[in-house]
Structure 1
Amino acid sequence: MKKSILIGALLVTASALSMCGRPVTTATQSSASTMGGFKNRNLLYFDATANFKRFSFQDSIAYYLKKSKDAGVTDVVVDVKPISGEVLYPSKLAPVMNEWAGFTKTEKFDLLTAFIEQAHKLGMTVHASTNIFVAGHNHFNRGPVYADPAKKDWQSLNYTAQGMTPITQIKTKYSAMVNPALPAVQQYEMGILKELITLYPKLDGIILDRVRYDGIEADFSAASRKMFEQYIGKPVANFPADIYTYSKDAKTPEGKAERVPGPLYKQWIEWRAKVIHDFVYAARQELKAINPKLIFGDYTGSWYPTYYEVGVNWASKEYDPSQTYSWATPNYKNFGYAEALDLYTTGSYYFEVEKKEAKTINVTTVNRTEAGQNKGTEDWYTVEGSAEMAMNIVKGKAPVYAGVYVDQYKGHPEQFVKALKMCRAKSDGAMVFDIVHVINEGWWNELKRGLTE
């Protein structure tokens, strides 16, 4: 999601960390978790592409920030690096997005500066959001992995039931995810983050998004195999079969070929979590060195029991998932990174709000297409249940903001209000994704009710 200069020396640290078994120094517990100012806050996302035309005009930015403030929003999250891998600020490292969906920006002003200045006048906090391990939009064949030959090999190589497939060829996936373990990828992304923080010293915070693998099928490149072998200290005799294979007969509830774990499956899951953990800690250290007051945040899905599929352990190190889940090794808990965060927001992306509503979930019709998200009727497939679970496993190491995906409540405004109130009741505040849906539905009154009543 974000980022001057000096990229060569900048990131050797992070890339080296993820490639070997050396432990990363644990950051001191997030100061934010002990600061009352981070409680009872309401975050509203401003997506880059969905709002590109709307926020290409300064008066529009001022207008919608005022409406957001009046609705009870305290923090705005400005997406400045969408999944296309382009950025919405004058970068020397990443391609700059000046056109989207046929509209070309003509007003000559700096978008993020405008957001910061206008929001600060209203007493609001501004975070920049950047998508980290993604560098292309598959539906438009657009982005660095498409345009830059040097970055083509960064894309994720997915081990699917049909065989090894580059992610740019899987058009059912809109995000052209890259391999997080590659040193060149980490160096590039860290350089962008550092550039962003340097360019905008008045920026309050940064929220990382897509700091993850594409899914359980990623990444099975030769480079990943070599790094994994270094991690476990021995060659993988049968790759990828020692990680997992596909059943010829068994199907998942989603109708896909069922994966059959191999002897190294759990260690593979552990190693991938370490790759992401080490990058998060390295990013915190690098960015805090530039701006010690920066609020360092992260955004993930709330479905922790299956989120290991994207290589992410957002829990506290004090939480041991191996006591509950068969996929976790006893060592997996060491790669939880909640302690590295000043702010954590999680997508409680379910129509059902109260835990008791889980009993009515129809798994044949639910819309669960996010990475690592599966079908089920456990109570953590509700806003209430997922928020409670997040608070429990983060263990107070960072403030937690449960989030709603507004579009899921289309045609059901009262359920939207109920969901927002539940986020506030069960976590440290609410996160709303995204303002475009509030605008399209005309739900400003509903937003205010959900965030203030």
Structure 2
Amino acid sequence: MNKLVIALCAFAMLTAASCDGSGSKATADKKFPRKNILWFDATANFKRFSYKDSVIYYLKKSKDAGVTDVVIDVKPITGEVLYPSKIAPVMQDWDGFKKTENFDLLTVCIEEGHKLGLVVHASTNVFVAGHNFFDRGVVYSDSTKRSWASLNNTPDGLKPITSIKKKYSSMLNPVRRDVQEYELSILKELIGMYPKLDGIILDRVRYDGIEADFSNESREAYEKYAGHKVANFPDDIYKYEKEGDKPVRKEGVEFKKWVEFRAKVISDFIWEARKELKAINPKISYGDYTGSWYPTYYEVGVNWASKEINAKDYFDQATPEYNKFGYAEALDLYTSGCYYYEVDKSESKHIDKNNKERTEAGQHKGTADFYTVEGSNELAVKLMNGKAPMYGGLYVDQYNGHPEQFVRAMKMCQKKSDGVMIFDIVHIINNNWWNELKEGFKN
């Protein structure tokens, strides 16, 4: 009996050690590699990284600060690319600056990064091909691709996203096969051109938001999936009704099935892209970058959780079939934007949701625990369910003027996930926060 009691106690202690307070799988067992990731945005750093010596300088600065992995953005939201593609247009200028030095940014990052011991990933913005603020990009310059832009169901009726100038990203319609094939061709070209690249991280593999996409192509694809015609489109998905002077979205009879359908579209693409890219380079790390606000992330058509997670536990719009379209199992790396100023869960009670600006796609106002760095990390790790490493992502500009809060947020990501992803190096440079970066990377 004493041996049995001792054994049960030992098992209980091991079980407790494998979970954090939220019940999510902890990462203290070092199942996944610890990483300190730093993102290099394409347009924000375009001029700075148009000079080879500058690229090498900042790779060294990053390494000295404790960075283990760099992510080089080579396909910004315009749909142009920063490498010599034969498919996508190559970005030669940005914000009045024209590149003059002739060198391949990604080749330099790979070669010089590897000399320093850095792991080098490339990132691409997938279902987007234009910048609405500048009327620039593939959907603006290529007449054959203008119809690819999302058609949004707004309070003012159906509108192409290129006409909605408050939105800076000209998002595409992910359901279209020609869009999918075009984006896959760019990804395959990229992986084939750079065999020494360590990883690829996909960004914006999603819909624009709940308003997208209401084109004829989407209606036909949905009706085929649902197995019936939609009697009143788009009202049976949702419609707007006035409450006072404010239009309010009212869900229709098809809404939940529509949510499920959109999740399948994105999940299918994630799995297809993995298969195609691994066929070219089986060793490539296949990653994804999304927002952390899972209870509302269905609005952009994405279920980044494990298939074993019951989404109904997190939001009412989930159907039983929705769980099948989780894609954590497809990933080798996942980074989640834990984009909140408040660090500890205890700080959530101080959030004034009436004054809190949250403008990322699908992001709502609120004071739940997951609206903090700690809570969002815990939730993301739990939803990954041990299928892929999760690296908590921080948007540096949210801590502008508060370097101590930035360091606290970094340390929280280190504590609650497999490491930290910093977006973006431009803010570290502009704030001269290299010492803060180094401090935050310390375990």
TM over 0.5: yes
- Alignment root-mean-square deviation, CA: 1.4
Q: Is residue 137 from structure 1 mapped to residue 93 from structure 2 by the alignment?
A: no
Larger radius of gyration: 2
| Cα separation, 2, equivalents of 1:246 and 1:378 | 27
Q: Is the 8 A contact 1:250 1:258 kept in 2?
A: no
Unaligned runs of 5+ in 1: 1-32
Match of 1:308 among 298, 303, 307: 298
Alignment of 1:16-415 (within 5 A): 38-249=32-243, 257-415=247-405
Secondary structure of the equivalent of 2:152?
strand
- TM-score (normalizing by structure 2): 0.93
- Alignment-derived partner of residue 416 in structure 2: 426
Residues 1:53 and 1:324: Cα distance change in structure 2 (over 3 Å): closer
| Cα separation, 2, equivalents of 1:368 and 1:82 | 22
The residue identity in structure 2 corresponding to 1:242 is D
| Cα separation, 2, equivalents of 1:179 and 1:126 | 30
After superposition, give the CA deviation of every residue in 1:253-296 in whole Å (9 maximum; x if it has no partner): xxx63211100100000000000000000000000000000000
The residue identity in structure 1 corresponding to 2:268 is D
After superposition, give the CA deviation of every residue in 1:160-214 in whole Å (9 maximum; x if it has no partner): 0110000000000000000000000000000000000000000000000000000
| Cα separation, 1, equivalents of 2:384 and 2:248 | 31
- Alignment-derived partner of residue 443 in structure 1: 433
Secondary structure of the equivalent of 2:225?
helix
- Alignment-derived partner of residue 407 in structure 2: 417
Secondary structure of the equivalent of 1:107?
coil
- The structural deviation recorded for 1:111 is 0.4
Unaligned runs of 5+ in 2: 1-26
| Cα separation, 2, equivalents of 1:217 and 1:118 | 43
Secondary structure of the equivalent of 1:322?
helix
The residue identity in structure 1 corresponding to 2:315 is Y
Secondary structure of the equivalent of 1:364?
coil
Secondary structure of the equivalent of 1:331?
helix
| Cα separation, 1, equivalents of 2:72 and 2:434 | 19
Secondary structure of the equivalent of 1:448?
helix
- TM-score (normalizing by structure 1): 0.90
Secondary structure of the equivalent of 2:256?
helix
| Cα separation, 2, equivalents of 1:176 and 1:121 | 38
| Cα separation, 2, equivalents of 1:186 and 1:321 | 26
- The structural deviation recorded for 1:37 is 8.2
Aligned length: 417
Q: Is the 8 A contact 1:77 1:128 kept in 2?
A: yes
